[in-house]
């Protein structure tokens, strides 16, 4: 066993570096941009970051357990479309359509769980399949063109409203989800099991851990979070289309890995993920306000990702065989 495994929760030096990066971004963009350092803009960053943030939270325990879920972006789109379909075409009141959409997310997550946890198929391939399947169902249902709009104001408040005058509504959703996942991963028996499974599934099995059930839990939760992200997304933009959330899975994975979670499993934290999400969200927002080409964000993200992993390895003396 490599010695650094003794403390899978903490690689505080990595998170300190990441926090410095976020801070550096804030300083640079305050100097470059107009209106960057304002309460209104902070709210705007939070709003824009929430859907990807929810997906990144959901992906953290999945990746910690040694798996991956590529289907979350597609499921976001599928959920958005189903919500629109139920409400507008099905005449279902939103009070019922919202829970139904979350249930759909749970069912979709359960499909991933069945194939990965029960049939023990590789998560990468299973979720690549459901990535196509969910997006395809969204496209099929809407014939590729349908766009659901005109949602009632009460629902849109979830994505556009303020609490106490300054806090965006969906920030509350993000904080609640972060708290839930923080407890799951860092303060529960199930969370410890996830680290053990990610580090060595065979070892975890021999140690008597319920590997299948623990894995099933994170994939079902991931489905629910994707549906929730879909609801927030629709409420934020006021429309539901089949292409909602395209590519979000990769942004979310980027945030998770940037946040210090090992793509091989066994290591990662929720606060690291939140820092990763913040680093990406501030970068996008700052570049736009500073009138710099937003494409720089993609290039910088790529560089940051490679640098973060190399830096972590250098800091921890970690070695990964190819």
The binding site for another protein (CB under 8 A) comprises 65-68, 70, 115-117, 119-126, 128-137, 139-140, 143-144, 197, 200-202, 211, 215, 250, 253-254, 257, 263-265, 293, 295-299, 301-303, 305-306, 309-310, 319-322
Whether 164 contacts 239, CB under 8 Å: no
**Token match 């929730």: residue?**
228
Provide the minimum distance between the beta carbon of 227 and another protein in the complex, in angstroms, as a whole number: 18
Provide the minimum distance between the beta carbon of 256 and another protein in the complex, in angstroms, as a whole number: 10
Return the closest-CA partner of residue 169 out of 47, 282, 58: 47
- Rank residues 63 and 227 by Cβ distance to another protein and give the closer one: 63
- Rank residues 136 and 210 by Cβ distance to another protein and give the closer one: 136
Query: How far out from the chain centre does Cα 288 lie?
Result: 22
d(CA 285, CA 10): 29
d(CA 304, CA 113): 32
- Rank residues 152 and 203 by Cβ distance to another protein and give the closer one: 203
Provide the minimum distance between the beta carbon of 100 and another protein in the complex, in angstroms, as a whole number: 20
- Rank residues 15 and 139 by Cβ distance to another protein and give the closer one: 139
**Token match 């089949």: residue?**
242
Provide the minimum distance between the beta carbon of 154 and another protein in the complex, in angstroms, as a whole number: 32
d(CA 265, CA 194): 9
Provide the minimum distance between the beta carbon of 171 and another protein in the complex, in angstroms, as a whole number: 26
Provide the minimum distance between the beta carbon of 275 and another protein in the complex, in angstroms, as a whole number: 17
- Rank residues 134 and 195 by Cβ distance to another protein and give the closer one: 134
List, in sequence order, every residue forming a beta bridge with 158; answer none if it has no partner.
none
> Which alpha helices (DSSP H) does the chain contain, by range?
12-32, 39-64, 72-84, 94-113, 123-142, 153-160, 169-186, 189-199, 201-206, 211-237, 248-258, 270-289, 295-316
Provide the minimum distance between the beta carbon of 131 and another protein in the complex, in angstroms, as a whole number: 7
- Rank residues 124 and 176 by Cβ distance to another protein and give the closer one: 124
Q: Is 290 exposed, middle or buried (0-12, 13-18, 19+ CB in 10 A)?
A: middle
- Rank residues 143 and 187 by Cβ distance to another protein and give the closer one: 143
Provide the minimum distance between the beta carbon of 280 and another protein in the complex, in angstroms, as a whole number: 10
- Rank residues 65 and 101 by Cβ distance to another protein and give the closer one: 65
Whether 211 contacts 201, CB under 8 Å: yes
DSSP string, 1-45: --GGGG-SS--HHHHHHHHHHHHHHHHHHHHHSSS-SSHHHHHHH
């Amino acid at each position: 066993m490599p010695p650094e495994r003794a403390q899978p929760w903490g690689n505080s030096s990595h998170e300190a570096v990441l926090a410095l990066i976020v801070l550096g971004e804030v300083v640079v963009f305050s100097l470059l941009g107009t209106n960057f350092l304002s309460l209104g803009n902070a709210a705007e960053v939070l709003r824009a970051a929430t859907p990807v943030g929810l997906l990144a939270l959901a992906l953290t325990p999945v990746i910690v357990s040694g798996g991956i879920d590529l289907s979350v972006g597609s499921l976001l789109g599928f959920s958005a479309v189903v919500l629109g379909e139920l409400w507008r075409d099905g005449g279902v009141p939103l009070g019922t359509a919202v829970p139904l959409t979350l249930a759909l997310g749970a069912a979709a997550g359960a499909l991933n769980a069945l194939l990965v946890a029960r049939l023990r198929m590789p998560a990468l391939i299973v979720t690549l399949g459901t990535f196509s399947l969910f997006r395809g169902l969204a496209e099929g249902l809407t014939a590729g063109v349908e766009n659901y709009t005109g949602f009632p104001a009460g629902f849109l408040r979830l994505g556009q409203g303020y609490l106490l005058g300054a806090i965006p509504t969906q920030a509350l959703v993000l904080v609640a989800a972060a708290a839930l996942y923080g407890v799951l991963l860092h303060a529960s028996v199930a969370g410890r099991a996830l680290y053990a499974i990610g580090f060595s599934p065979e070892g975890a099995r021999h140690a008597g851990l319920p590997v299948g059930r623990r894995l099933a839990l994170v994939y079902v939760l991931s489905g629910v979070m994707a549906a929730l992200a879909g609801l927030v997304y629709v409420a934020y933009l006021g429309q539901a289309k089949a292409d909602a959330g395209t590519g979000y899975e990769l942004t979310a994975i980027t945030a998770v890995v940037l946040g210090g979670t090992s793509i091989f499993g066994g290591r990662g934290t929720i606060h690291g993920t939140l820092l990763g999400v913040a680093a990406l969200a501030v970068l996008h927002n700052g570049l736009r306000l500073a009138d710099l080409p937003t494409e720089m964000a993609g290039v910088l993200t790529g560089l940051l990702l490679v640098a973060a992993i190399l830096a972590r390895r250098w800091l921890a003396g970690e070695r990964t065989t190819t």
